[in-house]
Amino acid sequence: MIDFLKNSAHRAWLVLMVATGITWYLGEVGAAGTASIVAMLVIAFVKGRLVILDFMELREAPMMWRVLLEGWLIVVASLILLAYWISLK
């Protein structure tokens, strides 16, 4: 188990499984509104970042590529947040 957790990709997989469970649970309890949307976007950002850094192996890549991929994630999450914020007004 300790050996398993030494591998960053294995750690990422575990966190991704738990995070997917949380998003599913928020759906089960019918979470809605600003707080739940922000929570789900934060979870999606954390998950996406783990895929980018530990699965795509961009942690050790030139900074430009990290900025492009993580930037994409931030832009998409921001646009979604903006649209939901507009819908709540």
Partner 1 sequence: MHAMTTVALPATNHGSKRLPGDLAIWFFILAELLAFAVFFAAYAFTRAKNVEMFNLYQQTLDRDLGALNTVLLITGSWFIVRAVQAAHRNDIKAIPPNILLGWLCGGGFLVVKVIEYADKFGAGISMSTNTFYMFYISLTFFHFMHVILGMVILTVLWFQARNGAYGAHNAHGLESGAAYWHMVDLLWIVLFPLVYVMR
Residues of this chain that interact with partner 1 (CB under 8 A) are 7, 9-10, 12-13, 16-17, 20-21, 23-24, 26-28, 32, 36-37, 40-41, 43-44, 47-48, 51-52, 54-58, 60-63, 65, 68-69, 72-73, 75-77, 79-80, 82-84, 86-87
Least distance (Å) between residue 28 CB and partner 1: 7
Q: What are phi and psi of 19, to 5 degrees?
A: -65, -40
* Secondary structure (H, E, C), the chain: CHHHHHCHHHHHHHHHHHHHHHHHHHHHCCCCCHHHHHHHHHHHHHHHHHHHHHHCCCCCCCHHHHHHHHHHHHHHHHHHHHHHHHHHC
